[in-house]
Amino acid sequence: MEIKRKIEMLVATNEKYVIRKTSTHKPTACTKCGKPMLTAEQTANLFGIRQRSIFRIIELGAAHFTENESGAVMICLNSLATVLDAEQKLKN
């Protein structure tokens, strides 16, 4: 007689993101909601998506954005996270 065992394992992970800024970087707050803003490159790295996806969301007018003095596009993290959460809920 063979004894069968079933083992379940649960793995929980915590992730922490550190965004390093150069000394020339001025913190930018969204003019619409006051939340922090990052460049498209930093935002793409933070959320693990392509910059093109971010620009598509901006083109749709779904996320807050602005351009800084050097011409870099700054994206509101709060509004982008809201859009990405809504997209994720639609997929599920």
Say yes or no to pLDDT of 23 above 60. Answer: no
For residues 46 and 22, the model is more confident at 46
Question: What is d(CA 22, CA 75) in angstroms, rounded to the nearest whole number?
Answer: 18
The model's pTM is: 0.66
**C-beta separation of 50 from 44 below 8 A:** yes
With a pLDDT cut of 90, the percent of the chain lying above it is 29
pLDDT digits (tens, 9 = 90+) for 1-17: 677 777 777 777 777 76
- What stretch of H or E contains 90? helix 77-91
The mean pLDDT value for 68-75 works out to: 87
List Cα–Cα distances, 91 to 40, 73, 81, 84, 86, in angstroms: 24, 28, 15, 11, 9
